[in-house]
Structure 1
């Protein structure tokens, strides 16, 4: 893995969504390494086995089999060497309950899966270009939900 490249992780059980995400992220032209996982358990096994380089950003779908995104988020936030990781919830759900619960449990941003490829690419680009140090220090509900 290139040490200068940003390490991004996506956990999403929908294969089409993973492929679209991968294509969109490639179009951003940002130098990065993308790791893909098809469920929350696979993601947590990877994170807990202690990869040599932890990801700078995790895109996490909420509705996954075996271990869902909310369970992963809670586990990440309660694990000492993972709790600093930036977590972007990436979900089709636009329910106020889901948004509120992920905010309370420490997600850094909530992104509704866009309904077009260009909006997806723009959303990913915006998230990758965020100043996460600033964003996480001034986190509030107004900047939590990413609207594209």
Structure 2
């Protein structure tokens, strides 16, 4: 019997992961400009996260990638804040507690790297994701932080890492 596996990204995951992430973004009517959809990093996720104080985790089931999430330093922010990045899952992975497990693992990594806070941006229609973020302690902000390049993401949240 197969089970969901959460693991670190490998170079071999890049092509399949880019397809998965873009599929999820299109499913949620995310604009192709000013969001993760346009990020060059989407096509080279292993290389993007193969740096100090950064990690990207994928979820695999039966040899197929179903999504992932990562953490890295928030760009152009002097504070010790990381960003939860590119947390997206195909429909077959949703509603099974995988998002919660992935979030816990990403936050564990962020604490391990010594970050004091975790920031994220999302879309207004991604209500299930926002509910999960609130469940683990993220609070809404009135303004964006840092420079994510995602000018089309109008929902900003922050969590203190204890």
Short-chain TM bin: 0.3 to 0.5
Give the TM-score of the pair, scaled to structure 1.
0.36
